[in-house]
Structure 1
Amino acid sequence: MKKLGFAAFLALCFSLAAPAFAGQQDFMLVNQTGDPIDQFFASPASSQNWEEDILGRDQLPDMDSVTITFARDTEACLWDFLAVYPDGEEVVWHDINLCNISTVILKWDEKNERTYAVVE
């Protein structure tokens, strides 16, 4: 499992970055899980480490979204995600191709009791 740390992901930030500095991997993260997300990590699929918590000190409330912006020179297209909920539960998604999508919607499947991602 990837470990938190290794700050090579510092170029990733919220939508406050100017579009001129945006990378092709930029996406909107939408939380439709029914719970706030405490932490959210993304790292290149080829990495053995989780990068910094994208949300920082903030939570991503249910039914809210945030735009994740990458540095223009970011090259990786395949990324892994880790969402951490306030109760400590973790959900991981692998090999999300951020070069081909613009939105990642996290949803809760009550029937199967699992969180899943829809990409657009």
Structure 2
Amino acid sequence: MTMKTIARAALILAAVGTVAAAPAVEAPVAAAPAAATAQSKDGLNRRVRIHNNTGWTMLRFYASNTGRSSWEEDILGDDVLANNASIVMNIDDGTGACNFDFKAEFTNGQSLVRNNVNVCQIADYYYTR
């Protein structure tokens, strides 16, 4: 497996089973098996709770290291993130990077991109209209 594939697996495993169906439901952080994770060795927490407060269902979510020229795989996979729900995602790709670009796609066809989000310094990120 490549580091990129391992990092994606860690992000997906961190998201699987954590989509909250209703507001105020706390989703647990899923632990990825040690062999499948590509954690940075600096000890910084890159887990971010993504909140969807847009009025639409989030269909896809991407988090790519700002050093990348393309979007990584959809972290939500087959899941969706309902309006007023949240999910904890481990945004650690194993490179030691803290700054990531986020892209969310919604049921209304809109995409919202947020650039240069420092996932080492935040615990929550809110998508609003």
TM-score norm. by structure 2 comes to 0.69
1:57-72 alignment runs, 5 A limit = 57-71=78-92
Shift of 1:8: 6.5
Equivalent position of 1:76 in the other structure: 97
Q: Which has the higher helix share?
A: 2
Whether the aligned pair in 1 keeps the contact of 2:91 and 2:119 (CA below 8 Å) is no
Equivalent position of 1:85 in the other structure: 106
1:46-104 superposed Cα distances (whole Å, 9 cap, x missing partner):
10011110111111000100000245844110000011112322111100000100000
Q: Which has the higher strand share?
A: 1
Whether the aligned pair in 1 keeps the contact of 2:56 and 2:108 (CA below 8 Å) is no
Equivalent position of 1:112 in the other structure: none
1:20-46 superposed Cα distances (whole Å, 9 cap, x missing partner):
977621110011111110101000011
Separation in 2, partners of 1:47, 1:57: 24
Whether the aligned pair in 1 keeps the contact of 2:7 and 2:92 (CA below 8 Å) is no
Tell me which amino acid in the other structure corresponds to 1:16: A
Gap change, CA 1:66 and 1:74, over 3 Å in 2: farther
Whether the aligned pair in 2 keeps the contact of 1:25 and 1:70 (CA below 8 Å) is yes
The answer for unaligned runs of 5 or more in structure 1 is 1-5, 109-120
Separation in 1, partners of 2:92, 2:100: 15
Aligned residues: 102
Whether the aligned pair in 1 keeps the contact of 2:60 and 2:76 (CA below 8 Å) is yes
The answer for unaligned runs of 5 or more in structure 2 is 16-28
Q: Percent identity?
A: 31
